[in-house]
């Protein structure tokens, strides 16, 4: 993983963007933390939608990586299915990753509640979302989500592990994002 390449890619994107980062599975955690540290600079506030990792585990990793978790609101789509939810002010636990309508509503409400102008949304990860939902539903959800991010002038980051996303979804997604950054090489 090249932290310089990530920083350069984020700087090239400018202020408001929606980007898809394709990440190598072996370097997923380190790359994810590097992107998050870069995007949270300058008092940015944001939403981190986690479909891949429970909130408590993710929060510990972020804190060990020196990322400021106080300015991040988490939408956790995995923990409730496992049964244990740690109470916290900055997390919403959803019942399942299969309820894309519920996820859309949660994201819209969380965006409204974010303070400041410098905002971001991270979706981690498309690869996990594909496990729980049919391709057509994911395409509709991603079109809605990326349109919402643009309308609200959010910086949007979507993560995908390697080339594991259905080719049809990947092809459609390239139309929805401003740039695909392949770090999986």
Band of residue 144 on the pLDDT scale cut at 50, 70, 90: very high
Structural tokens at position 33: 């933390």
CA separation for the pair 22, 177 (Å, rounded): 13
The stretch 36-56 carries a mean pLDDT of 87
Q: Which CATH class is domain 3-182?
A: alpha beta
Band of residue 76 on the pLDDT scale cut at 50, 70, 90: very high
CA separation for the pair 182, 175 (Å, rounded): 16
Residues 6+ apart with CB under 8 A from 141: 100, 103, 104, 129, 133
The stretch 157-173 carries a mean pLDDT of 76
Query: pTM above the 0.85 mark?
Result: yes
Q: Which residue has the higher pLDDT, 143 or 163?
A: 143
Mean pLDDT for the chain?
86
Band of residue 46 on the pLDDT scale cut at 50, 70, 90: very high
Q: Is the pLDDT of residue 25 over 60?
A: yes
Tell me what pLDDT residue 108 has: 92
The stretch 121-125 carries a mean pLDDT of 91
Q: Is the pLDDT of residue 122 over 70?
A: yes
Domain layout of the chain by residue ranges: 3-182
Band of residue 91 on the pLDDT scale cut at 50, 70, 90: very high
């Amino acid at each position: 993983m090249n932290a310089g390449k990530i920083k350069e890619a984020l700087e090239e994107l400018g202020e408001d963007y929606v980007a898809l980062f394709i990440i190598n599975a072996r370097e997923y955690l380190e790359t994810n933390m590097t992107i998050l540290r870069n995007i949270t600079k300058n008092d940015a506030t944001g939403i981190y939608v986690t479909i891949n990792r429970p909130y408590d585990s993710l929060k510990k990793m972020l804190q060990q990586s020196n990322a400021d978790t106080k300015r991040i609101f988490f939408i956790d789509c995995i923990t409730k299915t496992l049964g244990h939810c740690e109470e916290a002010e900055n997390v919403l636990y959803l019942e399942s990753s299969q309820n894309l309508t519920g996820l859309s509503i949660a994201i819209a409400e969380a965006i409204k509640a974010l303070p400041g102008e410098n905002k971001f949304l991270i979706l981690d990860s498309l690869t996990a979302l594909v496990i729980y939902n049919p391709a057509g539903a994911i395409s509709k959800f991603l079109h809605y989500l990326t349109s919402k991010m643009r309308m609200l002038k959010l910086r949007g980051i979507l993560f995908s592990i390697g080339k594991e996303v259905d080719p049809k979804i990947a092809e459609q997604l390239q139309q929805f994002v401003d740039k695909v950054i392949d770090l999986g090489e």
